[in-house]
Structure formats: structure tokens, C-alpha cells
């Protein structure tokens, strides 16, 4: 009994120490973004010899949004002879196919890929599209995005540097005013990009390729599996996180382009949001199981980068660790260890700092929205605390899914995020 | 603004002022020494006050809570005394212990299950609040089960809760100035304003903490010790940090409004 209680105490202390480590990291990021020296990306480079680009837009039942994204891409300020657009119709059952075929008939740059056989899901769809993609640089947009005119040039120009393996732009929600959830997601996005990604880029750590509003160099990504050239493992639900880690392990760079902003649609429904973060947590944890030891052993990464990479991969494991720590504290409480009840303020302080979901500390989100020039929107910050248990439950589900995937080797099924755009 | 005809034709708008884009701006650089000094200046006075005057503070809180509780609790059941704690002297409220009956505990277990089902299946806005409710219900369920199975093993009394609560709050009151000072460091704004914000947050926390203390003691007196774990785990320190974030966000919002249109605030990236 005494030994069991001792183990629980050690466990609680380890979780608190981990959370404090995350707080320190977020504080460093916030200070750096607010008043430190900022690293710019390659936006000032002008070149007439731009790389050939293939834009991939994975779509599964996207009739509500397909039109918008294709119109925007056709309007892009990029040399037409170097641009190819492949919308991927991934087992759609609505009018997505008709919309794509209509566009393809009118615009030769659009070469749709219709997939009705094989595995469904973004990684599998991109793998198949890469077989026919002619571009050296692959830029990916989700179907609900509205790429601005110059974004392809902004992203593609970074690939003039041969060390660059991937580029990530900034995602900005467009349906912010829909309800309280979308407003809160806007705050989270702000903290995640304006401060977190930019500071990681500034500090030479590991900014992340996010799978959309970004691109990667095809040649650094492709590898041969069973005689076929593929880029992504279809079993991993966050192909973007996997690619990020793979690139860093190869000694390549991921560039964060803060100015390359693109609007997206965020979930307007709590259930949809819950499923979305469950998928993120599952995929992220799958990557953690596969790459954590490799990051630790890597000769391509500095110590600081290794630490940042490991903290990045362990991020989604924190909510289940937190819930287990609450359970441990409960056991200690009923076992008559009141000293641990007085640890609760420290424990919940760390929770208060780390608003689960985007895992941005509240001061990081405050700083990000401040730089963004927001005023009244910042006052919604305390509402993010409402997400602690909600996100924690869904993320824990995702982490458990990933653990079961890891043990059983079962195949994963891709779950698309529902769209809310009006017809 | 009316454009000159030529500019209107060519879309060449001449502007006197162009603000830095949000991607390309930051605040004035600061040294680590300045930050450390500001942090200490903002947080240290409050922390020292708590450390030096916690016996007087807990006594004052207990007296105020006593007055509030006296409305609902007979005076012979209520007292102020030095309560068990790791730091002494710590003054708190003393009430008679009330253990739940088996029937009451079973009813709480049933109700917890019912509320969990209703809260988790709730409508849109209720979803995140519902998940919090589920957390509270889970704690109450475990506590009720404990009192059904082995009530004699419950290791606390009402007086012990009193000490536990006040110790917890003292920790909270030492953390609030530190948390706020650190959070406000990256923000522009004058130090007196930041100091005032911390003062207001502390005052609110102490007042709210006192009222909550009285309420918790009333619940323990009326409805038994069964609810003690929920008070500590679900509606305890976590609530304090929510309003700390609230005060912080209001301050940042005010500063943001104030600097709108100011060229001096923002610097170029490097």
C-alpha cells in the first residue's frame, strides 16, 4: 500500500513537472514572438524561374466547397505553364465528380483524379495523386480553403533553397462569427500560428508542416514500398506530422511563412470538433509511437531540436496523463494524504496555462491576438477553459485509439470533417 | 477619404500612414534583466504579504465566513479555531461532522449517473459545460461509493476540510501574482496599471474565496462530507484560475484598444 501510494505521488509530480516544462516552453515562445528578433521567410525573393508546382486538393463529398477552392486556384498569380491542379475526388457520393469534370473541361490546368477503388483517406489519396503529379513542388489545400491570389508564389519561392523540405503557411478561420465555438477556435489558431509556429521558426526549433496551406518537395518525400513510390503511410491519420518529422530526420528544413495566410472553415459544431481533435490526437500519437526513439537518436538534430521535437510529439498524450494524475490525486485524497490536495492549485494552474486543444498557454493566445490587432475578441479567452474537459476527453479517446492501433496493427479509417458552408 | 481623380483612376492611393502588417510586427526589444526586475516588482509584494500575514488573513476570512454562515447555521454549531494544517497558526471554521446515510449516498450515485447521461448528450453549447458536469458527477459518484462501502475509513473531518481549503487558497493567492506578473511581462503598458490589475484580481479572489468557503462549509453541514472531494477537485482552484484569465484578457483587450493607431508601439521584425 505504501509503495503504491509512493508510485502515485511520483507520478503526479512527474505530470506536474512535464506541464511546467510546457509552460516554460510557451513562455519562451511568447517572449520571443513579442519582442525577440524575428526570422523572415523567403518572401522578398523575386525569381522568374519558379519551380513547377502541382496543387493537390483532396475531396470527399465536397460539393459545398469544391467550386470556391478551384476558382481561387485558377485565379492564382503563378506561371500557368508551371502550374498543375489535381483535385482528388476520393470516393465522393455527392456532386463533387460532376463539378470537377465540368471544371476540367473548361480549364486544362485542372486534371482531376477520381478514386473509387482502393483505400479512402487523405494519405492514400495523396499517394495516388503523386503518381501522376508532374510538379517538383507539391502544394496541398483542403477543399474548404480559399487560397489568396499570391499564396502559391509565396510558398513555392521558398523551395529555391535546396535545404527546404516543406513550407507551412498560416491558417486563418473565415467563419469566426458563426458561434462561440468558432470564435474560440479562432483564438486557438491565432496562438498556434502567430506565436507558436513563428517562435519555433525564429528559435531554430521545429516548426510544423500542417498538411494544408503548405507544400513539400516531392523528391524528399517519396520512397518505395512494395515496388510503388509513395509518400505517406495510409495508416497514419496525420500525414503532415509524419512528413515533418521525416524531413527533420533527413536534415531538411520546414519553413514557416507567417505572411502566407489562407482562410479555412472551422467546425461550427461541438461534435464535429470533438471528432476532429480525436483524429488529430490519434494520428499525432501514431507518429509519436513510431518516431520518438528516432528523434532521440537522430544525428541531424541539435539537443534543443530533439527536446522540442519530443515535446511536440508527446503533446497529445498530456490530457490522458492529466486525467490519470487526477485519478491518482483522488486515490491519494481518499487514502488520507491531504498534502497532495494542497498540490492541487499547482496542478490546476498548469492546466489553466495549457488550454488543451491547441495547447497554447493563455498568455500565448493573448499575445498572438494582441499582435493580430484584435481588441474585444481577446475577452473570450477565459471561455477556452470550457474546452479543458471536452478536449481532454476526445484527445484521450484518440490517444487510446492510437495505442490500440500500435498494439494490434489494425488499419485506420479516415473520418472527414463536416463542412458548414451554405449552398 | 476622397481620392484625387488620378489616384482613383489608377488605384494608386497615396497614404500618409501605412501600419505594419500583423505578420511583420513585434514590440520593442527588452532585456532579461528588465523583465526579471519587472516580474519581481509586480509579484513579490503580494507574495510577501501572504507569507507574513496569513494568520491574520485566515482569521479575517473565517470571521467573514462565520457571519455569512450564521444566517443559516445555529451559532452553537459554528466556531472559529486553529485548524489542522501544515502551517500554523491557521484559523478556520469549525462545524460538526455529518456523514451521509447509505440511502443518501446511493441516491447521489444514481443522480450522478443520470446527470452524466443528460450532460453528455446535451445540446450544442451545453457540450463543453456538460463535460465539466460529467467530471463533477464522476467525483461525486466515487465519493458516494466510498461512503457506501467504507464510511468509517473517510480520513477527513469538517475542520480538516477547513484547514485544507485555506491552505489551498493561500497557495492560490501566492500563485496568482506570479501567474499574472509573468503573463503581463510580454505586454506593453505601464507598471501601475499592471500592479492595479494584480491587486484587483487578488481582492476578487480573496472575496470570492471567502464566500465560497462559507458556501462549502454550509454544504458540508447540511448535506454531509460526501461532497468534499468535488469541492476540492472540480470547483476549487480551477475556478480561481478561470477568473484570473478573465482579468488578464480584459487588460490585454484594453491595451489593444488603447494602442490602435499608434505607430510607436510596433517595431519591424528585426
Q: How far is CA A72 from the centre of its chain?
A: 23
Nearest CA distance, B6 vs chain A (angstrom)? 26
Task: Give the mean model confidence (pLDDT) for residues A307-324.
Answer: 92
Residues A244 and A167: their CA atoms lie apart, in Å, by 10
pLDDT (tens digit per residue) in A31-65: 999 999 999 898 888 888 899 999 999 999 999 88
Q: In this predicted model, what pLDDT tens digit does every residue of A71-124 receive, in sequence order?
A: 999 999 999 999 999 999 999 999 999 999 999 999 999 999 999 988 888 899
Range of the domain at A32: 1-42+161-423
- Tell me which residues of chain B, numbers 149 to 178, contact chain A at a CB-CB cutoff of 8 Å: 153-156, 160, 164, 167-168, 171-172, 175
Q: How many CA atoms lie within 13 A of A176 on its CB side?
A: 15
Mean pLDDT of A4-16: 91
Taking contacts as CB-CB distances below 8 angstroms, the residues of chain A near B245 are: 352, 362, 381-382, 384-385
Identify whether B20 is part of a domain.
no
Mean pLDDT of A223-238: 85
What's the pLDDT score for residue A356? 46
Q: Does residue A140 belong to any structural domain of this protein?
A: no
- Is pLDDT of A418 > 80? no
Residue A353 scores a pLDDT above 60: no
Residue B91 covered by a domain: yes
Instruction: Please count the helices (runs of H) and the strands (runs of E) in chain B.
Output: 8, 4
pLDDT number for residue A352: 57
Q: Mark whether B179 and B241 lie in a shared domain.
A: yes
The verdict on B38 and B132 lying in the same domain is no
ipTM > 0.85, yes or no: yes
Q: Does B226 map to a domain?
A: yes
- pLDDT at position A129, please? 95
Query: For B103-124, what is each residue's pLDDT tens digit?
Result: 999 999 999 999 988 887 666 5
Specify whether B225 is located in the same domain as B185: yes
Interface of B with A in 12-31 (CB under 8 A): 21-30
Q: What is the pLDDT of residues A236-255, one digit of tens each?
A: 999 999 999 999 999 999 99
Q: What is the mean pLDDT of residues A197-223?
A: 94
Task: Say which range, A268-272, A314-318, A340-344, B201-205, has the weakest mean pLDDT.
Answer: A340-344
Q: Is residue B266 part of a domain?
A: no
Number of domains forming the structure of chain A: 1
Residues B185 and B122 in one domain: no
Res. A126: pLDDT tops 70: yes
Residues 6+ apart with CB under 8 A from A101: A112
B131 contacts A393? CB cut-off 8 A: yes
User: What cell does B158 get?
Assistant: 469538517
Mean pLDDT in chain A? 90
Residues of chain B with pLDDT under 50: 1
Residue A405 lies in a domain: yes
Q: Which residue range forms the structural domain that includes residue B118?
A: 100-153
Boundary (domain end) residue, out of B114, B129, B153: B153
Cis peptide before B89 (omega within 30 of 0): yes
Q: How far is B170 from chain A (nearest CA, A)?
A: 9
The pLDDT of residue A357 is above 50: no
Strands A354-355 and A360-361: antiparallel
Q: What percent of chain A has pLDDT over 70?
A: 95
Out of B168, B172, B252, closest to residue A378 by CB? B252
For residue B21, being part of any structural domain is answered with no
Q: Which among B26, B233, B242 is the nearest to A326, CB-wise?
A: B233
Scanning B34-93 for CB atoms below 8 A from A yields 35, 86
Q: Is the pLDDT of residue A130 over 50?
A: yes
Residues in chain B: 270
- Confirm whether A14 is domain-assigned: yes
What percentage of chain A has pLDDT greater than the value 90?
Answer: 70
Instruction: Say if the Cβ atoms of A380 and B249 lie within 8 Å.
Output: yes
What distance in Å separates residue A70's CA from the closest CA in chain B?
26
* Set of chain A residues whose Cβ sits within 8 Å of the Cβ of B152: none
Asked if the structure places residue A130 within a domain, the reply is no
Residues with Cβ within 8 Å of A303's Cβ and at least 6 positions away in sequence, in order, are none
**Nearest to A350, CA basis, from A32, A27, A30, A31:** A27
pLDDT number for residue B11: 56
Q: Is the pTM of this model over 0.80?
A: yes
Least confident of A140-144, A346-350, A353-357: A353-357
Query: Does residue B122 sit in the same domain as residue B251?
Result: no
pLDDT over 70 at A422, yes or no: no
How many interchain CB pairs under 8 A, A with B? 178
Q: Say how far apart CA A328 and CA A343 lie, in whole Å.
A: 12
Top-confidence residue, B8 or A371: A371
pLDDT tens for each residue of B221-233: 999 999 999 998 8
Amino acid at each position: 500500500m505504501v509503495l503504491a501510494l509512493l508510485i502515485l505521488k511520483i507520478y503526479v509530480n512527474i505530470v506536474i513537472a512535464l506541464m511546467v516544462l510546457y509552460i516554460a516552453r510557451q513562455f519562451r515562445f511568447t517572449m520571443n514572438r513579442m519582442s525577440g528578433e524575428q526570422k523572415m521567410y523567403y518572401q522578398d525573393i523575386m525569381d522568374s524561374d519558379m519551380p513547377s508546382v502541382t496543387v493537390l486538393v483532396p475531396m470527399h463529398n465536397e460539393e459545398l466547397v469544391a467550386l470556391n477552392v478551384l476558382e481561387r486556384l485558377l485565379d492564382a498569380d503563378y506561371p500557368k505553364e508551371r502550374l498543375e491542379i489535381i483535385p482528388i475526388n476520393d470516393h465522393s457520393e455527392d456532386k463533387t465528380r460532376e463539378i470537377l469534370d465540368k471544371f476540367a473541361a473548361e480549364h486544362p490546368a485542372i486534371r482531376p483524379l477520381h478514386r473509387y477503388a482502393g483505400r479512402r483517406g487523405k494519405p492514400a489519396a495523396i499517394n495516388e495523386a503523386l503518381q501522376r503529379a508532374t510538379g517538383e513542388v507539391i502544394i496541398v489545400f483542403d477543399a474548404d480553403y480559399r487560397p489568396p491570389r499570391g499564396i502559391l508564389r509565396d510558398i513555392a519561392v521558398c523551395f529555391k533553397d535546396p535545404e527546404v523540405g516543406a513550407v507551412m503557411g498560416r491558417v486563418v478561420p473565415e467563419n469566426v462569427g458563426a458561434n462561440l465555438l468558432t470564435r474560440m477556435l479562432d483564438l486557438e489558431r491565432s496562438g498556434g500560428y502567430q506565436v507558436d509556429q513563428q517562435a519555433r521558426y525564429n528559435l531554430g526549433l521545429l516548426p510544423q508542416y500542417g498538411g494544408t496551406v503548405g507544400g513539400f518537395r516531392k523528391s524528399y518525400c517519396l520512397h518505395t514500398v512494395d515496388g510503388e513510390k509513395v509518400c505517406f503511410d495510409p495508416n497514419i491519420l496525420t500525414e503532415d506530422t509524419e512528413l515533418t518529422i521525416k524531413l527533420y530526420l533527413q536534415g531538411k528544413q520546414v519553413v514557416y511563412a507567417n505572411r502566407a495566410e489562407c482562410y479555412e472553415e472551422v467546425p461550427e459544431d461541438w461534435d464535429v470538433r470533438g471528432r476532429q481533435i480525436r483524429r488529430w490526437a490519434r494520428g499525432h500519437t501514431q507518429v509519436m509511437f513510431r518516431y520518438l526513439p528516432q528523434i532521440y537518436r537522430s544525428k541531424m538534430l541539435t539537443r534543443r531540436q530533439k527536446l522540442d521535437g519530443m515535446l511536440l510529439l508527446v503533446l497529445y498524450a498530456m490530457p490522458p496523463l492529466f486525467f490519470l494524475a487526477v485519478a491518482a490525486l483522488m486515490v491519494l485524497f481518499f487514502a488520507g494524504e491531504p498534502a497532495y490536495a494542497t498540490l492541487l492549485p499547482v496542478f490546476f494552474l498548469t492546466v489553466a496555462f495549457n488550454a488543451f486543444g491547441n495547447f497554447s498557454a493563455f498568455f500565448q493566445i493573448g499575445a498572438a491576438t494582441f499582435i493580430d490587432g484584435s481588441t474585444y475578441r481577446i475577452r473570450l479567452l477565459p471561455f477556452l477553459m470550457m474546452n479543458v474537459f471536452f478536449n481532454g476527453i476526445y484527445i484521450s479517446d484518440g490517444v487510446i485509439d492510437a495505442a490500440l492501433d500500435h498494439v494490434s496493427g489494425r488499419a485506420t479509417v479516415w473520418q472527414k470533417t463536416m463542412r458548414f458552408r451554405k449552398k | 477619404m476622397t481620392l484625387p481623380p488620378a489616384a482613383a483612376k489608377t488605384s494608386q492611393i497615396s497614404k500618409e500612414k501605412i501600419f505594419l502588417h500583423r505578420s511583420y510586427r513585434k514590440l520593442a526589444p527588452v532585456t532579461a534583466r528588465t523583465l526579471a526586475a519587472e516580474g519581481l516588482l509586480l509579484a513579490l509584494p503580494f507574495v510577501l504579504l501572504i507569507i507574513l500575514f496569513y494568520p491574520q488573513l485566515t482569521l479575517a476570512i473565517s470571521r467573514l465566513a462565520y457571519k455569512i454562515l450564521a444566517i443559516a447555521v445555529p451559532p452553537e454549531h459554528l466556531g472559529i479555531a486553529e485548524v489542522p494544517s501544515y502551517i500554523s497558526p491557521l484559523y478556520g471554521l469549525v462545524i460538526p461532522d455529518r456523514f451521509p446515510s447509505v440511502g443518501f449516498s446511493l441516491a447521489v450515485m444514481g443522480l450522478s449517473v443520470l446527470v452524466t447521461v443528460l450532460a453528455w448528450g446535451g445540446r450544442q453549447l451545453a457540450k463543453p459545460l456538460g463535460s465539466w458536469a460529467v467530471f463533477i458527477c464522476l467525483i461525486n459518484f466515487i465519493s458516494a461509493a466510498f461512503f457506501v462501502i467504507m464510511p468509517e475509513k473517510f480520513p477527513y473531518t469538517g475542520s480538516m476540510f477547513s484547514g485544507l481549503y485555506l491552505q489551498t487558497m493561500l497557495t492560490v493567492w501566492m500563485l496568482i501574482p506570479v501567474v499574472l506578473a509573468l503573463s503581463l511581462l510580454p505586454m506593453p503598458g505601464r507598471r501601475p496599471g499592471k500592479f492595479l490589475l494584480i491587486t484587483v484580481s487578488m481582492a476578487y479572489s480573496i472575496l470570492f474565496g471567502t464566500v465560497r468557503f462559507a458556501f462549502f462549509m454550509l454544504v458540508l453541514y447540511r448535506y454531509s462530507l460526501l461532497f468534499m472531494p468535488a469541492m476540492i477537485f472540480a470547483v476549487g482552484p480551477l475556478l480561481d484560475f478561470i477568473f484570473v484569465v478573465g482579468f488578464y484578457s480584459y487588460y490585454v483587450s484594453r491595451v489593444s484598444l488603447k494602442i490602435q493607431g499608434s505607430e510607436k508601439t510596433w517595431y519591424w521584425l528585426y
